[in-house]
């Protein structure tokens, strides 16, 4: 399978614990995005990387959230001191940006986080 993969698929954690999610994009895709989706809502943009550089962060990304893409390939999203409001589906997408014109983003299956 050459699509976007995310691990774990499900995570249950207690409030106050730290969690880390991993995203493996489609090979050679230079852009990687993180989104968050709560029940009944469309996905909301969190941050994106072009290669290893994090170029934009949403206001939704509080200081408890940090994302990395150290070698321009896989990415991790860490949430520190989780809160119940962090319960959501965390989606990763990747794309190949070459020139002008927006590019299609391909999504992974998501990681569903439940904070108890």
Partner 1 sequence: DAKTTQPPSMDCAEGRAANLPCNHSTISGNEYVYWYRQIHSQGPQYIIHGLKNNETNEMASLIITEDRKSSTLILPHATLRDTAVYYCIVRAGYFITQGGSEKLVFGKGTKLTVNP
Residue ranges that bind partner 1, judged by CB under 8 A? 4, 31, 33, 35, 40-45, 48, 50, 55-56, 91, 93, 95, 97-110
CA distance 91 to 2: 17
Q: How far is the CB of 111 from partner 1 (least distance, A)?
A: 10
Q: Toward partner 1, which CB reaches closer, 18 or 91?
A: 91
Residue 22 has which token pair? 């991993």
Q: How many CB atoms lie within 10 A of CB 74?
A: 16
Please tell me what DSSP assigns to residue 85: G
Residue 109, preceding peptide bond in cis (omega within 30° of 0): no
Residue 31 has which token pair? 């852009």
Q: Toward partner 1, which CB reaches closer, 41 or 116?
A: 41
Q: How far is the CB of 32 from partner 1 (least distance, A)?
A: 11
Q: Toward partner 1, which CB reaches closer, 53 or 84?
A: 53
37 forms beta bridges with: 89
Q: How far is the CB of 81 from partner 1 (least distance, A)?
A: 26
Residue 105, preceding peptide bond in cis (omega within 30° of 0): no
Q: Toward partner 1, which CB reaches closer, 55 or 64?
A: 55
Q: How far is the CB of 68 from partner 1 (least distance, A)?
A: 17
């Amino acid at each position: 399978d050459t699509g976007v993969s995310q691990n774990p698929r499900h995570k249950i954690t207690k409030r106050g614990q730290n969690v880390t999610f991993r995203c493996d994009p489609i090979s050679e895709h230079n852009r990687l995005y993180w989104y968050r989706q709560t029940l009944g809502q469309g996905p909301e943009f969190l941050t994106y990387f072009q290669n290893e550089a994090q170029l934009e962060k949403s206001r939704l990304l509080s200081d408890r959230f940090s994302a990395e893409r150290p070698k321009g390939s896989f990415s991790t999203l860490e949430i520190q001191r989780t809160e119940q409001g962090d319960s959501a589906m965390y989606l990763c997408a990747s794309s190949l940006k070459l020139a002008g014109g927006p590019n299609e983003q391909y999504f992974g299956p998501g990681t569903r986080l439940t904070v108890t």
